[in-house]
């Protein structure tokens, strides 16, 4: 049932034990120059005197407010909407920010190694996307149907409390036009208002929005009922007549036993290929999306129809606070998605249906701040770490809809005051595309992991990926990057992108990435010369 009524297993990457450095390595004392003040009031002061940054293409999106201004705005909004606890949480963040990072960070090889760390961090640097000249015998890279060269189409199922399935409201509610709109179509079901099999009325609204339609087409009577007949042919002709880009997610989540088209991989492949061939003949505007659920992963491959029949690979990808009826807050969607990406990244990938659950209905327990951080991984890190992810459609399902369908989770962004503003902040990035435009290429760079002990000189953009290895699933409050005795920069939100600058005289010094909690206590340290344990046990 579209992944909303089954338990999601979340597979957390293994905890990397933090070890002390070898005695032959002298660890420096990292001291930040504060002009006599014991706290650093602005994390970027240390790099303002470096060479000016290179010219960057101006963003097509309005400039987002800095993190403190954003928190202030959210505090005010929370007070106005009666969310007193949320307003208090934002005030605490603002106070912690103004308290500043500690003035010194002692790194000693005598630190104990038996303390649990809050996160295992990876450091990346932004590099230009390489231009690869073609050899005389090579042809240009062929993109799939409707595929952008870079960037991510933003999409949504508008089943939330405020949109109520009226896709024309999404831009006003969420602050940005979306490229994709998700609709489900029952097999052999007549759309009574238009006397069509295809959802023509929804397509008309989407066309007015200059958007595209993702259709979940579900053979509810089983695979034997899927034939080359007038129903399928007419559906295809009506899809073509819509005049908009269509992403046809036919018989999705086939790897899960909760759908009636599960259990016969060879028959599934036969029927998928049949639908592909009919669409290729009747509806050239239709891209075929093969879309398993992320769980269970061991049955996915046997259902793959073959590259010639799949335009896009889609995944249902959810983050929920419970798994197998037990609370499970550790890890993120990236942990479960990474091995799937490795197998299918030769195709453009869409998160055809994904969401973060913020309320568990059986106990009515809210996980608002946890869900906020999980959203940051889905929309902040996922596109940057996995550039073949080129569409994300949020399954925006309200509490009322979840209760009506006997669901366990509430995914509605607007029913979580932390997620509401954060989603709008995340999708404002140039990474996200508001229109389906094949070949568009707004992101001329990629991120590569730093595998050496030093950093290149000059101004550049770094990204820190903090894996959530603590049982509370709590992300860092702040992350700072140091080199030798120099603070290079800090960030207070996912995707933890930090503008840094390395002076030539510091180029040989090792780098350190440090995570802090909201008490500005160190909870994890990652070094270019090896993992480092932390000095005392503090709350993550």
Per-residue model confidence (pLDDT) at position 479: 96
Could you give the percent of the chain with pLDDT greater than 70? 82
Q: What is the mean pLDDT of residues 227-247?
A: 98
Per-residue pLDDT tens over the stretch 277-330 = 999 999 999 999 999 999 999 999 999 999 999 999 999 999 999 998 899 999
Architecture of the domain defined by 116-131+446-526: Sandwich (2.60)
SS in 3 state form for 241-295? HCCCCEEEEECCCCCCCCCCCCCCHHHHHHHHHHHHHHHHHHCCCEEEEECCECC
Class assignment of domain 143-443?
alpha beta
Q: Which position among 147, 218, 253, 493 bears the catalytic label?
A: 253
Do the domains 116-131+446-526 and 143-443 sit in the same CATH topology, yes or no? no
**For residue 349, is pLDDT > 80?**
yes
- Per-residue CA distances from 302 to 216, 255, 262, 311, 353 (Å): 21, 9, 11, 18, 21
Per-residue model confidence (pLDDT) at position 63: 67
Active site residue 253: yes
Per-residue model confidence (pLDDT) at position 64: 75
Q: Which position among 75, 218, 353, 497 bears the catalytic label?
A: 353
Per-residue model confidence (pLDDT) at position 108: 37
In angstroms, rounded to a whole number, what is the distance separating the alpha carbons of residues 450 and 488?
Answer: 15
Per-residue model confidence (pLDDT) at position 62: 56
Q: What is the mean pLDDT of residues 486-494?
A: 94
Per-residue model confidence (pLDDT) at position 336: 93
Between residues 504 and 272, the one the model is more confident about = 272
CA angle 529, 531, 537 (to 5 degrees): 145
Q: Which two tokens stand for residue 174?
A: 């969420």
Per-residue model confidence (pLDDT) at position 106: 52
Q: What is the mean pLDDT of residues 519-532?
A: 80
Domain segments of the chain as ranges: 116-131+446-526, 143-443
Q: Which two tokens stand for residue 238?
A: 């009506």
Confidence of residue 26 (pLDDT cuts 50, 70, 90): very low
Per-residue model confidence (pLDDT) at position 506: 84
Q: What is the mean pLDDT of residues 42-62?
A: 37
Q: What is the mean pLDDT of residues 40-52?
A: 30
**For residue 416, is pLDDT > 90?**
yes
Per-residue pLDDT tens over the stretch 48-57 = 233 333 333 4
**For residue 35, is pLDDT > 50?**
no
Q: Which residues pair with 122 in a beta bridge?
A: 465
- Per-residue CA distances from 385 to 284, 347, 377, 464, 497 (Å): 32, 16, 10, 10, 12
Per-residue pLDDT tens over the stretch 206-234 = 999 999 999 999 999 999 999 999 999 99
**In terms of Cα–Cα distance, which of 414, 494, 439, 424 is closest to 162?**
414
- Long-range interactions of 78-81: CB distance < 8 A, separation 24+: 78/417, 81/417
**For residue 46, is pLDDT > 80?**
no
What backbone torsions phi and psi does residue 335 show, to the nearest 5 degrees? -60, -40
**For residue 414, is pLDDT > 70?**
yes
Per-residue pLDDT tens over the stretch 371-413 = 999 999 999 999 999 999 999 999 999 999 999 999 999 999 9
Confidence of residue 538 (pLDDT cuts 50, 70, 90): very low
Per-residue model confidence (pLDDT) at position 118: 78
Between residues 135 and 34, the one the model is more confident about = 135
When the pLDDT of each residue in the chain is averaged and rounded to a whole number, the result is 85
């Amino acid at each position: 049932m579209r992944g909303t009524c089954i338990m999601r297993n979340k597979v957390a990457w293994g905890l990397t034990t933090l070890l002390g450095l070898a005695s032959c390595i002298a660890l420096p004392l990292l001291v930040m120059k504060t002009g006599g003040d014991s706290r650093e009031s602005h994390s970027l002061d240390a790099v303002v005197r470096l060479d000016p940054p290179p010219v960057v293409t101006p963003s097509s999106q309005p400039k987002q407010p800095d993190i403190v201004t954003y928190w202030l705005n959210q505090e005010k909004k929370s007070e106005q909407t009666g969310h007193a606890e949320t307003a208090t949480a934002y005030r605490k963040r603002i106070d912690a920010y103004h308290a500043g990072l500690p003035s010194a960070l002692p790194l000693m090889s005598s630190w104990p190694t038996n303390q649990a760390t809050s996160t295992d961090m990876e450091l990346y640097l932004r590099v230009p996307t390489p231009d690869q000249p073609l050899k005389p015998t090579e042809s240009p890279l062929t993109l799939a149907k409707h595929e952008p060269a870079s960037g991510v189409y933003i999409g949504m199922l508008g089943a939330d409390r405020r949109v109520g399935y009226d896709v024309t409201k999404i831009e006003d509610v969420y602050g940005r036009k979306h490229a994709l709109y998700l609709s489900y179509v029952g097999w052999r079901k007549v759309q009574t208002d238009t006397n069509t099999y295809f959802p023509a009325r929804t397509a008309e609204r989407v066309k007015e929005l200059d958007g595209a339609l993702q259709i979940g087409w579900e053979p509810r009577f089983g695979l034997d009922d899927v034939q080359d007949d007038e129903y399928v042919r007419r559906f295809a002709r009506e899809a073509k007549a819509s005049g908009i880009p269509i992403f046809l997610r036919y018989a999705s989540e086939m790897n899960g036993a909760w759908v009636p088209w599960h259990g016969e991989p060879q028959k599934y492949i036969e029927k998928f290929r049949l639908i592909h061939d009919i669409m290729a003949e009747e509806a050239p505007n239709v891209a075929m999306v093969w879309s398993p659920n992320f769980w269970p992963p061991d049955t996915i491959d046997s259902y793959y129809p073959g590259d010639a029949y799949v335009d896009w690979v889609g995944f249902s990808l959810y983050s929920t606070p419970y798994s197998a009826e037990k609370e499970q807050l550790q890890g993120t969607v990236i942990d479960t998605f990474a091995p799937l990406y490795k197998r299918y990244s030769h195709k453009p990938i869409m998160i055809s249906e994904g969401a973060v659950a913020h309320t568990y209905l059986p106990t009515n327990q809210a996980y608002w701040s946890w869900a906020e951080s999980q959203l940051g991984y889905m929309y902040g890190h996922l596109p940057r770490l996995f550039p073949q992810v080129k569409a994300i459609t949020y399954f925006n399902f309200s509490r009322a809809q979840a209760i009506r369908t006997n669901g366990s989770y509430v995914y509605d962004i607007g029913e979580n005051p932390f997620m509401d503003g954060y989603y709008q902040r995340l999708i404002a990035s140039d990474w996200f595309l508001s229109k389906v435009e094949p070949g568009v290429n707004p992101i001329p760079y990629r991120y590569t992991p730093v595998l050496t002990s030093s950093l290149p000189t000059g101004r550049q953009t770094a990204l820190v990926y903090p894996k959530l290895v603590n049982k509370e699933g709590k992300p860092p409050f702040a992350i700072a990057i140091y080199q030798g005795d120099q603070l290079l920069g800090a960030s207070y939100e996912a995707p933890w992108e930090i503008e840094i600058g390395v002076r030539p005289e510091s180029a040989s010094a090792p780098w350190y990435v440090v995570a802090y909690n909201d008490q500005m206590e160190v909870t994890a340290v990652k070094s270019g010369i090896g993992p480092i344990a932390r000095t005392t046990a503090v709350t993550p």
